[in-house]
């Protein structure tokens, strides 16, 4: 067993392999129930909140986005945090919360789409970030995906969420603060080290994917563009293609594991853009909540082996 610290954050994990190391031990994600009427499906467009945009295909669409029917934040009230006495700080939950339907197909998950379709979806992310960032009082646009019950979704039709927030989220701020302590981008250096390590999962011309040294989740992977870019809008066409390709490879492996996952885009100011892919095989218990230290039963070195496909048993 090993206690490991995150590259730059004060965050610790304990790697305790054994019990659940082999993917075949994961129980298959319980099938999400098919809703009788799916309002993400083509033909039911009238049932969603007002459409914001779509990528047209023929008479229909390939990707479509609209306001979230059950938003966590909304553009009402005041975004500014105010103090109410010495210990109470609050604001209205200000922002914009949107749903992007990834594909018109009800039966396909993101891992069933090809790399070009995945690339197109990331182009939509770029569009949403650009548009929502320009809105008044928006400090950050979070883009994340939940797949499966253990990752926080109950709707089977593949979709992504976008939440434009009135604050910079604490996790992003923590990364910004940590990065600022270095004279040059630490992630550029981390990438060149991990590229030569046993934690490398995949690499193509412009992208790299590795299992982070202090992985919190079984089979956690981080995806970085090799060039120091701070957002999707700086990606070249080739980089977008390479991103689609590397995400497809990761997702194909996640399909084999058959587990819930989240992924989220990480970017802000001069933070080196990256994507955290977080499979959700294990639940956090008292140890995690009481100490903030996370126990992960899969060493990232073994996770990387699984992604690279070297390990037959996996």
Residues lying near Zn ion in the complex (CB under 5 A)? 38, 40-41, 106, 157, 185, 187-188, 228, 272
Q: How far is the CB of 113 from Zn ion (least distance, A)?
A: 15
Minimum distance between the CB of residue 54 and Zn ion, rounded to whole angstroms?
Answer: 15
Q: Which is nearer to Zn ion, 42 or 53 (CB)?
A: 42
Strand, coil or helix: 27: coil
Distances (CA, A) of 175 to 7, 88, 170, 234, 256: 11, 25, 9, 20, 31
Q: Which is nearer to Zn ion, 116 or 192 (CB)?
A: 192
Residue 50 is given by DSSP the state: P
Smallest gap, in angstroms, from Cβ of residue 5 to Zn ion? Answer: 20
Tell the smallest beta-carbon distance from residue 289 to Zn ion (Å): 33
**Sign of the Cα pseudo-torsion (174, 176, 179, 185, in order):** positive
For the four alpha carbons of 103, 104, 109 and 111, in that order, the dihedral sign comes to negative
Between 207 and 298, CB nearer to Zn ion: 207
Closer CB to Zn ion, 94 or 187, in the complex: 187
The CB-side HSE value for 57 (13 A sphere, CA atoms) comes to 11
Using the minimum distance from each CB to Zn ion, give the nearer residue, 120 or 272.
Answer: 272
Q: What tokens appear for 75 in the block?
A: 């553009």
Measured CA to CA, the distance from residue 272 to residue 227 in angstroms comes to 9
Give the sign of the dihedral formed by CA 125, CA 127, CA 128, CA 130: positive
Minimum CB distance to Zn ion, residue 184 (Å): 8
């Amino acid at each position: 067993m090993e206690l490991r610290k995150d590259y730059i954050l004060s965050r610790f994990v304990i790697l305790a392999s054994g019990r659940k190391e082999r993917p075949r031990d994961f129980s298959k994600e319980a099938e999400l129930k098919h809703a009788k009427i799916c309002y993400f499906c083509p033909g039911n467009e009238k049932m969603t909140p007002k459409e914001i945009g779509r990528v047209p295909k023929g008479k229909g669409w390939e990707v479509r986005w609209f306001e979230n029917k059950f938003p966590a934040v909304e553009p009402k009230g005041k975004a500014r945090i105010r103090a109410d006495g010495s210990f109470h700080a609050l604001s209205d939950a200000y922002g914009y919360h949107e749903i992007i339907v990834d594909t018109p197909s009800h039966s396909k998950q993101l891992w069933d789409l090809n790399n070009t379709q995945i690339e197109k979806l990331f182009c939509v992310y770029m569009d949403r970030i650009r548009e929502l960032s320009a809105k008044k009082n928006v400090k950050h646009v979070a883009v994340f995906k939940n797949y499966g019950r253990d990752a926080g979704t109950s709707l089977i039709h593949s979709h992504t969420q976008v939440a434009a927030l009135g604050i910079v989220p604490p996790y992003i701020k923590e990364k910004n603060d940590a990065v600022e302590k270095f004279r040059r981008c630490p992630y550029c250096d981390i990438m060149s080290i991990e590229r030569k390590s046993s934690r490398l999962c995949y690499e193509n011309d412009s992208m790299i994917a590795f299992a982070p040294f202090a992985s919190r989740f079984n089979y956690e992977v981080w995806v970085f563009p090799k060039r120091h870019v701070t957002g999707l809008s700086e990606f070249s066409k080739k980089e977008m293609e390479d991103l689609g390709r590397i995400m497809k490879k990761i997702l194909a492996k996640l399909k084999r594991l058959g587990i819930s996952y989240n992924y989220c885009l990480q970017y802000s100011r001069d933070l080196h853009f990256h994507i955290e892919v977080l499979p959700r095989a294990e639940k956090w218990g008292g140890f995690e909540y009481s100490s903030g230290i996370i126990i992960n039963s899969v060493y990232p070195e073994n996770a990387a082996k699984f992604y690279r496909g070297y390990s037959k048993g996996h």
